[in-house]
Amino acid sequence: MSMRKARWLWLTLLPTLLALATAAPAWAADPVTLQLQAPEQVTLGEEASVTAVLVDGQGAPVRGATIILWSAGSFLSTGGAIELGRAATDAQGRATFTYQARSEGALTLNASFPGDSRHASAQASSEVKVQGSFQLYQEEAGVQVPGITVWLLVGLLGGVWSTYLTVMVLLTLIAREGPKAPLGAGGDRG
Amino acid sequence: MDKVSPQPQEDLQRTVLRPLTHTGKGYYLIVGVLLLVVLWGVYAYSTQLAQGLIATGMRDRISWGFYIILFVFFIGISHAGTLISAILRVVKAQWRTPVTRMAEFITVVALSVGALMPIIDLGRPDRVPNLLLFGRWQSPILWDLLSITTYITGSIIYLYLPLIPDLALCRDRLGSEASSWKRSFYRIASVGWQGTPRQKKYLSIAMGCMMVLIIPVAVSVHTVVSWIFAMTVREPWDSTVFGAYFVAGAIFSGIAAIIVVMAILRKAFRLQAYITEKHFINLGYMMGGFTLIMMYFNISEYVVTGYKMVGETSFHFTQIFVHEYAPFFWFYAIGGMVIPGLIILFPRTRTFTGVLIAAGFVLVGMWMERFIIVIAGQRVPLMPYPPSWYVPTWVEWSVMAGAFAMFGLVIALFVKLFPVISVWEVAEQHAEQEVKTALPTGMSGQLAPGQLRLDGDADPASGVSRVPGGGR
Amino acid sequence: MPGVGDSARRMSRRQLLKVLGAAGIAAVVAPLAPLLLRRGGARAAETVEAPGRLRKWAMVIDLRRCDGCQGIELPPQCTQACIQGHYAPEPMEWIQVYEGELAGGGTQFIPTPCQQCQNPPCVNVCPVAATFATPEGTVLIDQNRCIGCRICMAACPYDRRFFNWGNPPVPLESQLADYSTEHQVPAKRGTVMKCDFCPDMARAGKLPYCAQACPSNAIYYGDLEEDIATNGEQLVKLSQFLAENEAYRLKEDLATKPRVYYVRGHGQAVGRSPLRSGRKATRWPWLEKLAGARTWTR
C-alpha cells in the first residue's frame, strides 16, 4: 500500500472511529424498562408496599440501581415533585418502598431511574386511588392529668365555705340569745 | 408568762379603751402624714393608668417587678395573725392573749393591701371581671384569687369573733364619751352579746371551728402564691420546695411584723403592763426558730442545685452571690437570718430592743429575698440574649410607699375603733390565774364560801365592773 | 323593757338575717366558682372547623441555609417581613434570629418564631383563656380578653411573648380594622402579643411572611396531617424530611412539644463560616412613618 493510500484510509477511518467512540455510550447504554407495581386502591394512612422492577433490554434484572419514588403535588401555591423515597434494586431488579398515602383522591405514583454509565434512564408511573377521609394526626394541644379535676377544687372550697356558713349561723344564734338575757346579767354570777 | 399582771381589770379596760375615745394631736399628725403618702401613691398609680405600664421599669424580659414583690411580701406578713392567733390558740399558749388582736389586725390589713397589688400590676385592670367571667380553674392566678378571697373572709371572721365581747364592752362602757355613730356601730356589731353561757358556748364553738380551719387556709394561700412562680420552668423558680419555703418565709416575716407593730402600739398606748418584755422575747424565740428553718431551706436549695450546676445555675449563682444582686442576697442572708439568729441566741441581746432590731432586719431581709426571687429569677436568660436590667421608676417607688402607708393608716384607723388588746380574754386569763393562786390546790374555778373575786365581781366577759361585795 | 327589747331584737334579727342570707349565698356560690369558671373559660375554636380533616401546622427551619442574612448584609429578612406584614411595634420581633454559641466553637443563627407548643406553658397558666390553642395546634392570643397579668410571659421558656407596655403605635390602615386573633391589629395597650404562625395566610394558600422572605428559603412550612411541607421552592414529605435530616426541637427536655423543628447547621449551605459572628440589627421601618411613636426596649 502506498503512503497516500494509507493516509486516506486513516482519514476516513478516524472520523468513523471517533463517531463510533462517541456513540458508544448510547450504543453501549442499555435501554431499560422500569415497571412500577402499586395497589390500585389504598386507604388513607394505610402503609402500602410499592415495588419498582428494573430490567434491561435483554430482560435481565438490573441490580444496585437507585430508584426514586416521587409524586407531583402542590402545597400553599408551590407545586413540584415530592420525593417519597429512594431504594436500590436487589438481585431480582426489585426495589421496594413503603408508602403511606396522606392525601385523599387520585394519586399518580412515579418511579424514575436516573440512569448510569451503562443504562439509560427510565420512568414509570402508576395510578392509585386513595380512599377515605378522616383525621390521621390526632394529637391535641394541652395535657390531661388524670385525677385532677375541678371537683377536687370545688370540694375543698365547699368544705371551707360551709364552715364559714356554720359560723354565721352561730352568730345569729348568739344574736338571738342577746335580748333574752336580762340586761347586764352575767352568766355564772351568784 | 412569769407573773400575772397585778393591774386590776378596771385599769385594763380603762387603758385599752382610752384610745377609742381620746385622740391626741400626735395621732392626727401621723394619720395626716400617712394619708398624704397614700394619696401620693394613688397619684402615681393614676399616672400609670394614663400611660400604661411603660411608666414602670418593667419590660419584656423582667416583666414582674415591685408590685409582685409587694404582693408576696404583704401576703406573707398576713400569716402573722394565723400563727399567733390560731396556732397559739390551738396549742393553748397562755402568753399569746394580749397579742392576738394586733396579730389579727395585721392579717386583715396586710391581706387587703397585698390583694390590691396584683390588680395594680395588671396591664388591663379594666378587665378584672374577665377573671370571673372567663376564669380558668387550671391557672395559678385563679388559685390565688380563690384562696385569697377565702382567706380574707376567714380572717375577717376570725378577727370579728373574739372582737364581739370587746365590742359589747365598748357598747356598755363607752357612754357619752364616744361619738354617736360609734355607739350605734358597737351596738350593732356586738350582735346583742350579753355574755350568757349559751352565747359563750356558741362563740367558743365558732372560734374553735375558725381557729382550726384558718391554719390550712393560710398554708394554702402562700403555697398557691409560690406556685405562681413554681409552675413555670424558669430555672430559679422550678423547685418543688417553693410551697413550703414560702409558707415558712411568710410566717417568719409575719412574726417580725407583729413585733414591730406591737412595739409601736405598745409605746403609743402605754400598754407596757400587758405587753411585757416577755412577750417580745417569746416572739423573738419563735422568730429565731424560724431563722433556722429559713436557713435550712436556703441551704437545701442552693447546695442541691449548686452541686450539679445544671443549665443556667452558674449564671444565677454569679448574679446573686457575686455580682449584680449580691448586696441584696447577702443582706438577706446575713442581715435577715444570721444577725437576727445571733441576737436571739445570746441572752445579752435577747431583750425588747434586741428583738425589735432583729425584727426590723428580718422585715428588710425578707423584702430583699422576695426581690431576689422575683427579679433575679427573671433575669436568667432563656435564649441567647444579653441579660436585662430592672430599674424601678418613681411610679413603683411611690406605689410601694403608698402601700406601706396604707398598711399603717388602716391599722391606725382600726385602733381607734377596736380595742388593741383582747380585753375579755386577758381578763378571763387573769381571773383564772387569780383563782388558781388563791385557792387551795385541787380546787379550781369554784369560789369557796365567803370568797370574793378580787378583781371586780361577776363575769369578766360581760365587761361590767362591779363593786366587790356580796359573794357567795 | 318589752318595747326597747323588741325593737332591738327586730333590728338585730333583720340585720342578721341579711348577714345570714349573704353568707348563705356566698357559701353556695363560692365552692361552685371553679365550675362556673370552667364553663366560662372553655374556649371554642375561633377558626371554623372544616368538615373532615384538620390541618396541623408545623415549621422546619433548615439552619444549614441560615446565615442571619450576613451574606446579603441586611437585617434578617424573616424578621423584617414579619414586622412589616403584622405591623409589629418596636421592639417586638415575633420571629427573632438569635445567635447561639456552638459547643465546639463558633456560632449559629437560630430564627425563633413562637414554637407553637402542644403542651404550651403559656396556655396552661393563663387565668382567662386569653391565650389558647386551636384544633390546628396554633397558639393564639385574644387581645380583647387579655388582662395583662403577664404570667404567660413568665411561663414561656423561649422568650417569645411581648407586652404592649405603652400605647403601641398603630398604622393608619389598621386603626379601623376589625381585630382578629389571627391578625393582631390594632395592637392594644396592656396586652400580650406574639407570632401567630400566620394561619390566615396558610388558609389563603400562602406561606407566612417569614418563609416567603427568606432569601435562602431556609424556612419550611408544612402540615403534619397531609405530611407535606414547602419552603416556597421545593416540596418535601414532612416526616421523611424530619427523619432524614435528624431534625430536633428547642429545649426538648422541657416537654413543651413544639411544632417548630430545626435542622442542625450554621449557614454552610450559603457559604457562612461559623466563626464569622454578628448580624445587622433589626429595624422597624413602618414605624418611621408614624411621627412621635413612643416605643420601649425589651
Q: Which CATH class is domain C57-288?
A: alpha beta
End-to-end CA distance of chain C: 74
Are A110 and A173 contained in the same domain?
A: no
Residue that wins the pLDDT comparison between C291 and C110: C110
Closest-CA distance of chain A to residue C65, Å = 19
Spell out a b/e string for B262-298, using b for 16 or more CB atoms within 10 Å of the CB, else e: bbbbbebbebeebbbeebbbbbbebbbebbebbeebb
Q: Which of residues 40-59 of C touch B (CB under 8 A)?
A: 40-41
Q: Which of residues 88-117 of A touch C (CB under 8 A)?
A: 100, 102-103
Are A80 and A162 contained in the same domain?
A: no
Query: Residue C120 corresponds to which cell in the numbers above?
Result: 404550651
Asked if residue A5 is part of any domain, the answer here is: no
Q: What is the pLDDT of residues B235-261, one digit of tens each?
A: 999 999 999 999 999 999 999 999 999
Place of cell 385592670: B125
Residue that wins the pLDDT comparison between C284 and A12: C284
Whichever domain contains A42, its CATH number is 2.60.40.730
Report how far residue A153's alpha carbon sits from residue A78's, in angstroms, rounded to the nearest whole number: 51
Whether the pLDDT of residue A115 is over 90: the answer is no
CA angle, residues C103, C247, A111, in degrees to nearest 5: 140
Picking from B126, B82, B127, B124, the residue whose alpha carbon sits closest to that of residue B103 is: B82
pLDDT score recorded for residue B453: 44
Q: What is the pLDDT of residues A37-60, one digit of tens each?
A: 888 899 988 889 999 998 888 888
Chain B residues within an 8 Å CB radius of C110: 384
Q: Which stretches of chain B drop beneath a pLDDT of 70?
A: 1-8, 439-472
Percent of chain C with pLDDT over 70: 83
pLDDT score recorded for residue A2: 65
Are A110 and A65 contained in the same domain?
A: yes
pTM: 0.86
Q: Which residues of B sit within 8 Å Cβ distance of A?
A: 137, 146, 150, 153-154, 157, 161, 164, 172, 191-200, 202-203, 205-206, 209-210, 213, 217, 457-459, 461-462, 464, 472
Q: What is the pLDDT of residues B187-231, one digit of tens each?
A: 888 888 888 888 999 999 999 999 889 999 999 999 999 999 999
Report how far residue B65's alpha carbon sits from residue B328's, in angstroms, rounded to the nearest whole number: 15
Are A115 and A170 contained in the same domain?
A: no
Residue that wins the pLDDT comparison between A4 and A89: A89
Are A34 and A124 contained in the same domain?
A: yes
| Closest Cβ–Cβ partner in C112, C124, C298 for B60 | C298
Q: Tell me, what DSSP letter sits at residue C127?
A: T
Residue that wins the pLDDT comparison between C118 and B435: C118
pLDDT score recorded for residue B468: 43
Report how far residue A62's alpha carbon sits from residue A129's, in angstroms, rounded to the nearest whole number: 29
> Which strands make up the sheet holding A32-37, listed edge to edge?
A32-37, A47-56, A94-100
Picking from A47, A69, A78 by the largest number of C CB atoms within 10 A of its own CB, the best residue to mutate is A78
Picking from B51, B29, B32, the residue whose alpha carbon sits closest to that of residue B40 is: B32
pLDDT score recorded for residue C156: 97
Whether the pLDDT of residue A140 is over 90: the answer is no
Place of cell 396586710: B110
Range of the domain at A167: 150-177
- DSSP β-bridge partners for residue A72: A81
Sign of torsion, CA C180 C185 C189 C193?
positive
Residue B172 · residue B466 · CB < 8 Å? no
Picking from C9, C128, C277, C298 by the largest number of B CB atoms within 10 A of its own CB, the best residue to mutate is C128
Domain boundaries, chain B: 24-125+136-231+394-428, 234-257+279-376
Q: What is the pLDDT of residues C205-264, one digit of tens each?
A: 999 999 999 999 999 999 999 999 999 999 999 999 999 999 999 999 999 999 999 999
Report how far residue B156's alpha carbon sits from residue B165's, in angstroms, rounded to the nearest whole number: 16
Looking at the 3D structure of chain A, how many domains does it have? 2
Residue C242 · residue C224 · CB < 8 Å? no
Report how far residue B440's alpha carbon sits from residue C252's, in angstroms, rounded to the nearest whole number: 76
pLDDT score recorded for residue B85: 82
pLDDT score recorded for residue B467: 42
Are A102 and A172 contained in the same domain?
A: no
What is the rounded average pLDDT for all residues in chain A?
82
Tell me the three state secondary structure of residue C212: helix
Catalogue the long-range contacts made by B430-437 (C-beta closer than 8 Å, 24 or more residues apart): B430/B4, B430/B5, B430/B9, B430/B12, B430/B455, B430/B460, B431/B455, B431/B460, B433/B4, B434/B4, B437/B4
Whether the pLDDT of residue A18 is over 80: the answer is no
Q: What is the pLDDT of residues A81-111, one digit of tens each?
A: 999 999 999 998 899 999 998 988 888 999 9
Chain B residues within an 8 Å CB radius of C164: 52, 123
Least confident range from A146-155, B161-170, C100-109: namely A146-155
Write the CA distances from A72 to A78, A106, A108, A125, integer angstroms.
Answer: 11, 12, 7, 11
Residue C103 · residue C86 · CB < 8 Å? no
Tell me the three state secondary structure of residue A108: strand
Cβ contact, residue pair B196, A187, below 8 Å = yes
Asked if residue A95 is part of any domain, the answer here is: yes
End-to-end CA distance of chain A: 164
Are A116 and A44 contained in the same domain?
A: yes
Report how far residue B327's alpha carbon sits from residue B330's, in angstroms, rounded to the nearest whole number: 5
Whether the pLDDT of residue A186 is over 80: the answer is no
Identity at A36, one-letter amino acid code:
L
What is the rounded average pLDDT for all residues in chain C?
86
Cβ contact, residue pair B464, A187, below 8 Å = no
Closest-CA distance of chain B to residue C270, Å = 23
Query: Residue B117 corresponds to which cell in the numbers above?
Result: 397589688
Q: Stretch C71-94: mean pLDDT, rounded?
A: 94
Are A65 and A106 contained in the same domain?
A: yes
Tell me the three state secondary structure of residue A116: coil
